Amino acid sequence: IRDEKLVILTTMGAVYENKPFAYQVVQGEKVEVPCRYVIKDGIVSFEIGKYNKKQTLIIDPTLIFASYSGSTADNFGMTATYDNGGHLYAGGTAYSIGYPTTLGAYQTTTTTNGSSYGVTDAAISKFSPDGSTLVYSTYLGGGTATGGTETLHSLIVNDQDELYMFGVTSSSDFPTTSTAYDKTFNGGSFLGFMQNGTYFSAGTDIFVSKFNSTGTALIGSTFIGGSGNDGVNYNKNYLSGSYWISNYDSLQYNYGDQFRGEIMIDADGNCYVATTTKSSDFPVKNAMQPTFGGSQDAV
């Protein structure tokens, strides 16, 4: 416990829980009750001051901020992270123009343009620590109004406030950088997740991208994948009427969607991606398991 905050040490750094706030509602008024964290024999609990035991006691976490995205286009939130300064980075998808972007941001418009084909671009916004200011906000993607979908699955920020992103794309013109590991979209087979209205007309490749600290330029961006679909969890395609639908695998009961995987970084700035593939020719190097083992493997 430090400055009345609970400090939780993890392998990824310290997590802080703010001083707890407790109250009772008495005759329609919120009355604060003294409350603090205590640790005894490794067990965290609350020490509560004097209160009316005949009334409900509410111990509530502090809401630092909550905000809408400000988008006039349909948009889904999918992942988020933070930096050492307490800024919030929100990542998701946008189906059209109308997602708020900032002056000078990397990509201020989109080709999805309200498509009815389930086509989205990734959308990334950085908020000030108190949520009062949009520091930067941008689209990230390629394709056209009828094909080329991006979904954003995981974010992490380094000590220089540079944002690392992992997701999947079906756009052959997804932005890559000059020294990218793979500048070519490898493709796959059609995926149509009617459950959440997302369609990948040309299959999926993984993308790994990195923004500079101001969100105005890509420091690095690359495709990763084989000839099958990479970076999404699904079981099989089945025909429903005149539509092919991609069925979630058993992970739907844990996660509820196909957008799975994480990106992490180490102290040297190397990034690590963990996800899945259906490509028997997924690129491997110095691998514990160099050959494809089944219909869907972890990578």
CA nearest neighbour of 193 among 249, 121, 245:
245
**Burial of 34 (C-beta count, 10 Å sphere; 0-12/13-18/19+):** exposed
* pLDDT tens digits along 32-88: 999 999 999 999 999 999 999 999 999 976 788 999 999 999 899 999 999 999 999
Short-list 147, 145, 165, CA closest to 155: 165
Task: Give the pair of three-digit tokens for residue 22.
Answer: 């407790």
pLDDT single digits (tens) 205-248: 999 999 999 999 999 999 999 999 999 887 655 444 444 445 54
CB contact at 8 A, 89 and 80: yes
What is the pTM (predicted TM-score) of this model? 0.80
